[in-house]
């Protein structure tokens, strides 16, 4: 019964903040299981907590999921057979089930005022008892409750947690959790504003939407037994429950939280801005709670769909390791075609205010492809292609462990070689310059270092010879001549 075919899974974010990698991982696992089993991936917006509602958060979830390529089959924007998919549009349904619980004697109306509840809490604090509802309204007669409701008294509906016995909650990744019912509070299910809390709304929706597997964060483990009790009270068959592991911050110590965002961003759209590919991000988060075997680490989304399995999910905390992300992302960049990479790189150059020459962009895409880990790194190593030639620092034109005179000679002889060839061509030029280095008793690194500064104005760039070919003979000669001038006048003045 581990993988009912086909699976119906839902991603159920609350629009209470920005969309981060934890949510993305849950959505990814949902998506993988749905696609693998030919089932459905459902997006449900859990927006009944109006106090924590953040405008725009729902849009950010959708934009992020689309960008990641995790498209849903049913959702608030596209509808589906079990809609609506926004909880604020389903409030009548929750009321109906809350009342059903009352009718089955698994729920009750409670009229306690906030003042009374706070007195109860203070008393419990003094007595060092755990905070919980004291059960005053639990035994209220239903007729009396109805009269008070008719009289306009505000009320909530609470779950009537059994006082005896214990509840066993079974999670796929852990040992069964067994809890004494006497330790479980009589949770509010329907608030005085008529809106449900998560404990009611999510259970009702998962049931009505025929969800087969619930993937959710392990922050729900403490109230998991309550959820099981609600299922039992309504005589519903439970889904397979999977509580995913928590994230640890990059040091591996402590729980990852949004406050750690300063370390490096955890929000999906920010990671996009930082130059990560959806493929890189998905590969990275897929492995934070799941593994295929003990060595395979590189996966495309297609491979993940094929290889994902519930049996290989694990509950141990996952370290958020950005070095790994860079590594995966670089590998996925290498898989792109030139035209894909060109399209992805263009906005990063433009963002820096550079005027992009399309022909040059075509030529430099393959040159950066082997070297970058994030798309924005292309701007660092190749942005100079779209700028006036930056004037190098004179001191930087002196080669490593070389005198000024040796450096001048190296630049002069390079100039002569380049001037002497008809057109610049990578293989011949490289051979000739390497021969020059050898003749001068220099390493290629020493010579290329000087020329790189002369031609690009920077120490790190796309590969030198290829760069010169793209820039073109005349401009390369101009830049080398300028470097020669600079160094000669520097030597003359010294």
Residue 338: its H or E element? helix 338-351
Residue tagged active-site, from 210, 255, 258, 387 = 258
Q: How far is 270 from 18, CA to CA, in rounded Å? A: 10
Least Å distance between CB 330 and ligand GLU?
A: 32
Which residue in the block uniquely carries the two structure tokens 């779950």? 159
Residue among 202 and 398 whose Cβ is closer to ligand GLU: 202
Residues 161/180, Cβ–Cβ less than 8 Å: no
Q: How far is 203 from 241, CA to CA, in rounded Å? A: 12
| Displacement of CA 482 from its chain's centroid (Å) | 47
The CA–CA distances, whole Å, from 173 to 5, 186, 237, 296, 310 equal 20, 27, 19, 22, 9
Residue among 189 and 372 whose Cβ is closer to ligand GLU: 189
Least Å distance between CB 340 and ligand GLU?
A: 34
Residue among 12 and 345 whose Cβ is closer to ligand GLU: 12
Residue among 17 and 83 whose Cβ is closer to ligand GLU: 17
Q: How far is 154 from 157, CA to CA, in rounded Å? A: 11
12 binding ligand GLU? (CB under 6 A): yes
What is the phi/psi pair of residue 114, to 5°? -55, -35
13 binding ligand GLU? (CB under 6 A): yes
**Residue among 216, 139, 137, 229 at smallest CA distance from 179:** 229
Q: How far is 358 from 235, CA to CA, in rounded Å? A: 64
3-state secondary structure 268-296: HHHHHHCCCCHHHHHHHHHCCCECCCCCC
Q: Answer yes or no: 258 catalytic.
A: yes
Residue among 198 and 448 whose Cβ is closer to ligand GLU: 198
10 SS3 class: strand
3-state secondary structure 430-481: HHHHHHHHHHCCCCHHHHHHHHHHHHHCCCCCCCHHHHHHHHCHHHHHHHHH
244 SS3 class: strand
**Residue among 238, 232, 221 at smallest CA distance from 175:** 221
Site string for ligand GLU, 380-419 (x = CB under 6 A): ----------------------------------------
Residue among 10 and 452 whose Cβ is closer to ligand GLU: 10
15 binding ligand GLU? (CB under 6 A): no
76 binding ligand GLU? (CB under 6 A): no
Beta bridge partners of 318: 247
Least Å distance between CB 332 and ligand GLU?
A: 28
Q: CB under 6 A: which stretch of 9-17, 144-152, 288-296, 461-469 binds ligand GLU? A: 9-17
> For the chain, how many residues are written?
494
Least Å distance between CB 227 and ligand GLU?
A: 9
Residue among 202 and 310 whose Cβ is closer to ligand GLU: 202
Residue among 204 and 487 whose Cβ is closer to ligand GLU: 204
14 binding ligand GLU? (CB under 6 A): yes
Number of residues that bind ligand GLU (CB under 6 A): 6
Site string for ligand GLU, 211-240 (x = CB under 6 A): -----x------------------------
**Residues 328-347 contacting ligand GLU, CB under 6 A:** none
Least Å distance between CB 274 and ligand GLU?
A: 24
Residue among 14 and 363 whose Cβ is closer to ligand GLU: 14
Least Å distance between CB 72 and ligand GLU?
A: 14
110 SS3 class: strand
Half-sphere exposure for 120 (CA within 13 Å, toward CB): 13
Residue among 26 and 414 whose Cβ is closer to ligand GLU: 26
Least Å distance between CB 77 and ligand GLU?
A: 18
Least Å distance between CB 43 and ligand GLU?
A: 11
**Residue among 12, 22, 47 at smallest CA distance from 258:** 22
20 binding ligand GLU? (CB under 6 A): no
Which one of residues 46, 74, 186, 377 is an interface residue with ligand GLU (CB under 6 A)? 46
Q: What single-letter DSSP state applies at residue 313?
A: B
Q: CB under 6 A: which stretch of 8-16, 309-317, 357-365, 384-392 binds ligand GLU? A: 8-16
202 binding ligand GLU? (CB under 6 A): yes
Q: CB under 6 A: which stretch of 6-14, 65-73, 296-304, 411-419 binds ligand GLU? A: 6-14
The CA–CA distances, whole Å, from 383 to 131, 236, 350, 365, 392 equal 60, 61, 10, 12, 15
What is the torsional sign of CA 259, 264, 266, 272? Answer: positive
Least Å distance between CB 17 and ligand GLU?
A: 9
Least Å distance between CB 12 and ligand GLU?
A: 4
**Two tokens at 57?**
């958060």
Indicate which residues carry an active-site annotation: 258
Report the interface residues with ligand GLU, using CB under 6 A: 12-14, 46, 202, 216
């Amino acid at each position: 019964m581990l993988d009912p075919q086909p699976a119906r899974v839902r991603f159920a974010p609350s629009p209470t903040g920005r969309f981060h990698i934890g949510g993305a991982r849950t959505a990814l696992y949902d998506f993988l299981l749905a696609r693998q089993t030919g089932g459905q991936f459902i997006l449900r917006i859990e927006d009944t907590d109006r106090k924590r509602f953040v405008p725009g958060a729902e849009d950010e979830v959708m934009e992020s999921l689309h960008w990641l390529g995790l498209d849903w089959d049913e959702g608030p924007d596209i509808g589906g057979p079990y809609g609506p998919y926004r909880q604020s549009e389903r409030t009548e349904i929750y009321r109906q089930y809350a009342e059903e619980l009352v009718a089955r004697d698994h729920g009750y109306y409670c009229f306690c005022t906030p003042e009374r509840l706070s007195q109860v809490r203070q008393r419990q604090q003094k007595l060092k008892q755990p905070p919980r509802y004291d059960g005053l309204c639990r035994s209220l007669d239903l007729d009396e409750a109805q009269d008070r409701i008719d009289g306009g008294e505000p009320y909530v509906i609470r779950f009537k947690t059994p006082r005896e016995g214990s509840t066993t909650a079974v999670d796929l990744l852990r040992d069964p959790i067994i809890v004494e019912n006497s330790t479980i509070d009589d949770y509010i299910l329907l608030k005085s504003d008529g809106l449900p809390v998560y404990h009611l709304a999510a259970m009702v929706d998962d049931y009505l939407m025929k969800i087969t597997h619930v993937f959710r964060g392990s922050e729900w483990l403490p109230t998991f037994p309550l959820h099981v009790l609600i299922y039992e009270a309504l005589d519903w068959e439970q889904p397979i429950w999977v509580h995913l592991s928590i994230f640890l911050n990059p040091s591996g110590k402590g729980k990852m939280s949004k406050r750690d965002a300063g370390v490096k961003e955890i929000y999906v759209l920010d990671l996009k801005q930082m130059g990560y590919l959806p493929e890189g991000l998905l590969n990275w988060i897929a492995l934070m709670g799941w593994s295929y075997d003990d060595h395979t680490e590189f996966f495309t989304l297609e491979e993940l769909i094929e290889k994902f399995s519930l049996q290989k999910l694990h509950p141990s905390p996952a370290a958020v390791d950005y070095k790994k992300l860079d590594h995966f992302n670089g590998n996925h960049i290498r898989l792109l075609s030139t035209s894909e990479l060109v399209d992805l790189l263009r906005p990063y150059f433009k963002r820096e205010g550079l005027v992009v020459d399309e022909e040059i962009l075509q030529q430099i895409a393959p040159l950066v492809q082997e070297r970058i880990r994030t798309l924005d790194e292309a701007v660092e190593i190749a942005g100079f292609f779209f700028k006036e030639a930056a004037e190098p620092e004179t001191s930087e034109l002196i080669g490593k462990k070389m005198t000024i005179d040796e450096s001048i000679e190296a630049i002069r002889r390079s100039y002569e070689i380049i001037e002497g060839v008809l057109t610049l061509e990578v293989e011949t030029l490289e051979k000739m310059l390497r021969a020059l280095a050898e003749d001068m008793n220099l390493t290629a690194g020493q010579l290329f270092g000087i020329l790189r500064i002369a031609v690009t104005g920077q120490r790190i760039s796309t590969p030198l010879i290829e760069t010169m070919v793209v820039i073109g003979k005349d401009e390369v000669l101009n830049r080398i001549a300028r470097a020669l001038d600079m160094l000669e006048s520097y030597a003359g003045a010294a």
